């Protein structure tokens, strides 16, 4: 039985714990313990051929740095790549298919980006052998009998051209210099410059230097650059990050339009379920233990694959990948809250920031209510949240001066904390219950967001996704009447987004508090919201926000602006975007029901 022993170098602190994991290891063979300290590595190393998986070292480690996982015997000899001794392993790869878009879904840290690096040729798989570099003949033979055998043969012979849209687009200005127009025109090999300029909304930034671009503008720029290349395989790693819902639909349409056909192949890693469903022809699920191992499933039909992922069970492998299924409400909340006393009210508000002018219609929020806030980037959503929090004052109108306590999670959290603080310090500052293992908050929020493993980590050592979860947990741990969360799903994978949404609702119901959540992921908006505020206008120039609307009415307005329609999946109840021009799409647009609440097929 293959056994994976992973020791997290960031969590392991041998000078502080006295190496209890070594002292309590019960197994000695040929004079060597299954776990010993390596001076050259400055940390313990687990000998996986000796380890029997008893789990004693896991329990003795005070920093939860050790993870030992037993895998099914069928995976013996199936490792595609491993990063080192007691480090991450990847089993299997997504299979590119001609004239189709392959979607990839899974937790962060289970090998999605690694898979794309291998398929692009940037990372040569070692087939699990750390002692030497695998030859191309061995790699091709490893994949014999599958479509990947032919793929790697062509890749090794230089007969396959692959272009890769990287995950972290904010790194691009460090290595590339020039204006948007000059760089895209230089990259254009397919004569698509004029088309992509319009399709991806690059007109306003066409002559701008890329070092002056925002995250969303950089994302659209690099997607246009990749689509301009004449390639056999296009790889997109999280193309919707930094983008609002309008831009996500726009890039999804462009990727399908310019990669499907002429025997081209495309693979898209995406966490936004609506975008993934819309863009993909079939789905591969990557499951496993983050940072420990990842296994790539067989390809499924798009709807079936996403449903298997939400249900947490893969029937063809007889494998459960999650303890509980994720379910969606089959219809939106119906009754408006007219009799309850509002928790917070605001009159018609107006605010000018430079050339930008925002107006907000009067409204209120009630106990236990979650209001979703949707609209394009640069339309005033964050400005409205800052007015409610008291951070800035409106030029006209007022927010009721009730003595309520407000907890605020801002949009950008990287500069919020000192890098020398630990996660424990941050959560304890918000509430002692956040780190008390007997409290409901610790069990329902901290553990389910997987923050219990990070309590002794420094803030400066955390990834963007980990930092986002810390900021959310700190916001929710604070005792308040109103919680304001600005883009809580940024940097998070699908399961983390849904876990955060569930946590927000749980806190509101338990504390009889209210929340206002700014979000670009339409699936999360549907999952979490009782009512909706829609921001419309001209980004960067003027914006107008509606009063909180009944969810169905708000979504109808929002989806009409996006020019997309939703249907409900029969099995999971999740919203699914209808293919543009399909019968359902045309029918729903004709009757004005963009947000379809009846179960579709």
* Among 526, 549, 572, residue at a domain's last position: 549
* Among 70, 93, 114, residue at a domain's last position: 70
150 occurs within a structural domain: no
204 occurs within a structural domain: no
Low-confidence ranges of the chain (pLDDT < 50): 339, 599-601
Which helix (H) or strand (E) segment is 155 a member of?
helix 147-156
Q: Residue 214's Cα: distance from chain center in Å?
A: 19
Per the CB < 8 A criterion, the answer to whether 567 and 593 are in contact is no
User: What residues have CB less than 8 Å from 257, skipping those under 6 apart?
Assistant: 199
Per the CB < 8 A criterion, the answer to whether 110 and 290 are in contact is yes
Per the CB < 8 A criterion, the answer to whether 467 and 473 are in contact is no
Alpha-carbon Rg of the chain, whole angstroms? 25
The Cα 429–Cα 440 span in angstroms is 18
275 occurs within a structural domain: no
Q: In terms of DSSP bridges, do strands 566-568 and 595-599 run parallel, antiparallel, or are they unpaired?
A: parallel
CA-to-CA separations, 299 to 281, 318, 348, 441, 596, in angstroms, rounded: 10, 15, 51, 38, 28
Same-domain pairing of 379 and 488: yes
The Cα 494–Cα 382 span in angstroms is 23
84 occurs within a structural domain: no
CATH classification at residue 32: 3.30.70.20
Q: Is 100 exposed, middle or buried (0-12, 13-18, 19+ CB in 10 A)?
A: middle
SS3 522: helix
pLDDT digit string, tens, across residues 51-62? 888 888 888 888
**CB-CB neighbours of 579 under 10 Å:** 14
558 occurs within a structural domain: no
**CB-CB neighbours of 24 under 10 Å:** 14
Same-domain pairing of 514 and 594: no
Q: Is the dihedral of CA 367, 369, 375, 378 positive or negative?
A: positive
Same-domain pairing of 529 and 399: yes
> What is the count of structural domains for the chain?
3
Same-domain pairing of 420 and 474: yes
CATH classification at residue 424: 3.40.50.300
Q: Read off the tokens for 320.
A: 């459960």
Same-domain pairing of 424 and 390: yes
- What pTM, to 2 d.p., does this model score? 0.86
Per the CB < 8 A criterion, the answer to whether 23 and 92 are in contact is no
**CB-CB neighbours of 601 under 10 Å:** 7
123 occurs within a structural domain: no
Estimate the crossing angle of helix 245-259 against helix 215-228, to 10 degrees.
Answer: 10
pLDDT digit string, tens, across residues 337-360? 554 678 899 999 999 998 899 999
The Cα 374–Cα 115 span in angstroms is 33
Q: Which of 18, 17, 49 is nearest to 33 (CA)?
A: 49
The Cα 326–Cα 210 span in angstroms is 40
Q: Which of 315, 287, 236, 267 is nearest to 493 (CA)?
A: 287
Query: So what's the pLDDT on residue 29?
Result: 66
Same-domain pairing of 569 and 535: no
Strand pairing partners for 295? Answer: 91, 287
19 occurs within a structural domain: yes
Same-domain pairing of 571 and 455: no
Q: Which of 139, 343, 373 is nearest to 245 (CA)?
A: 373
Same-domain pairing of 570 and 475: no
Per the CB < 8 A criterion, the answer to whether 241 and 216 are in contact is no
Q: Which of 468, 478, 481, 496 is nearest to 433 (CA)?
A: 478
Same-domain pairing of 489 and 377: yes
Query: So what's the pLDDT on residue 453?
Result: 82
The domain in which residue 477 lies consists of: 348-549
Q: What are phi and psi of 551, to 5 degrees?
A: -55, -45
Same-domain pairing of 587 and 476: no
Per the CB < 8 A criterion, the answer to whether 134 and 124 are in contact is yes
Same-domain pairing of 545 and 569: no
Per the CB < 8 A criterion, the answer to whether 487 and 518 are in contact is yes
Query: So what's the pLDDT on residue 357?
Result: 95
574 occurs within a structural domain: yes
Query: So what's the pLDDT on residue 599?
Result: 43
* Among 32, 52, 70, residue at a domain's last position: 70
The Cα 350–Cα 358 span in angstroms is 6
Per the CB < 8 A criterion, the answer to whether 235 and 96 are in contact is no
Q: Where do the H-state alpha helices sit in 376-457?
A: 381-389, 423-430, 440-441
Same-domain pairing of 592 and 494: no
Q: Which of 51, 54, 46, 59 is nearest to 86 (CA)?
A: 46
């Amino acid at each position: 039985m293959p056994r994976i022993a992973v020791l997290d170098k960031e969590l392991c602190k041998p000078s502080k714990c006295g190496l209890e994991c070594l002292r309590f290891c019960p197994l000695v063979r040929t004079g060597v313990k299954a776990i010993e300290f390596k001076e050259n590595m400055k940390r313990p190393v687990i000998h996986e051929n000796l380890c029997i998986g008893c789990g004693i070292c896991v329990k003795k480690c005070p920093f939860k740095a050790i993870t030992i996982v037993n895998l099914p015997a069928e995976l013996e000899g199936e490792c595609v790549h491993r990063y080192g001794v007691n480090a991450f392993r990847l089993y299997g790869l997504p299979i590119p298919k001609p004239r189709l878009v392959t979607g990839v879904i899974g937790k962060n840290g289970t090998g999605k980006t690694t898979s794309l690096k291998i398929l692009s040729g940037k990372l040569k798989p070692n087939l699990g052998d750390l002692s030497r570099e695998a030859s191309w003949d061995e790699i091709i033979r490893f994949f014999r009998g599958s479509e990947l055998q032919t793929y790697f043969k062509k890749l090794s012979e230089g007969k396959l051209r692959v272009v890769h849209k990287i995950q972290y687009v904010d790194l691009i200005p460090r290595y590339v210099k020039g204006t948007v127009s000059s760089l895209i025109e230089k990259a254009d090999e397919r004569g698509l410059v004029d088309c992509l300029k319009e399709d991806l909304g690059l007109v306003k930034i066409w002559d701008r230097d890329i070092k002056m671009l925002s995250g969303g503008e950089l994302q659209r720029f690099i997607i246009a650059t990749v689509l301009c290349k004449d390639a056999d395989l296009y790889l997109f790693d999280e193309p919707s990050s930094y983008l609002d819902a309008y831009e996500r639909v726009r890039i999804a349409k462009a990727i399908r339009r310019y990669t499907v056909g002429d025997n081209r192949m495309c693979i898209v890693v995406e966490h936004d379920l609506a975008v993934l469903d819309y863009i993909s022809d079939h789905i591969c699920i990557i499951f496993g233990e983050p940072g420990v191992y990842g296994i790539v499933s067989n390809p499924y039909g798009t709807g079936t694959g996403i449903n298997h992922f939400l249900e947490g069970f893969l029937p063809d492998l007889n494998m459960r990948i999650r303890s509980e299924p994720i379910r969606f409400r089959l219809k939106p909340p119906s009754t408006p809250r007219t009799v309850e006393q509002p928790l917070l009210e605001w009159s018609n508000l107006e605010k000018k920031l430079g050339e930008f002018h925002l107006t907000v219609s009067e409204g209120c929020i009630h106990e236990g209510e979650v209001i979703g806030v949707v609209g394009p980037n640069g339309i005033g959503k964050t400005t409205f949240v800052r007015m409610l929090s008291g951070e800035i004052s409106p030029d006209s109108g007022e927010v009721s001066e009730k003595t309520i306590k407000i907890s605020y999670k801002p949009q950008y959290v990287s500069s919020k904390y000192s890098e020398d603080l630990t996660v424990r310090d941050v959560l304890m500052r918000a509430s002692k219950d956040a780190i008390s293992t007997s409290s409901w908050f610790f069990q329902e929020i901290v553990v389910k967001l997987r923050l219990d493993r990070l309590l002794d980590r420094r803030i400066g050592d955390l990834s963007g996704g980990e930092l986002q979860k810390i900021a959310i947990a700190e916001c929710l741990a604070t005792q308040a009447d109103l919680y304001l969360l600005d883009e809580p799903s940024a940097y998070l994978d699908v399961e983390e987004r849904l876990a955060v949404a569930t946590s927000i609702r749980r806190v509101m119901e338990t504390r009889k508090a209210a929340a206002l959540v700014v979000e670009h992921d339409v699936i999360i908006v549907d999952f979490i919201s009782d009512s909706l505020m829609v921001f419309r206008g001209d980004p960067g120039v003027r914006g107008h926000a509606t009063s909180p609307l009944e969810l169905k009415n708000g979504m109808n307005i929002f989806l009409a602006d996006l020019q997309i329609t939703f249907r409900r999946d029969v099995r999971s109840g999740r919203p699914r975007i209808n293919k543009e021009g399909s019968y359902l799409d045309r029918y729903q647009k004709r009757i004005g029901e963009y947000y379809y609440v009846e179960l579709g097929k």
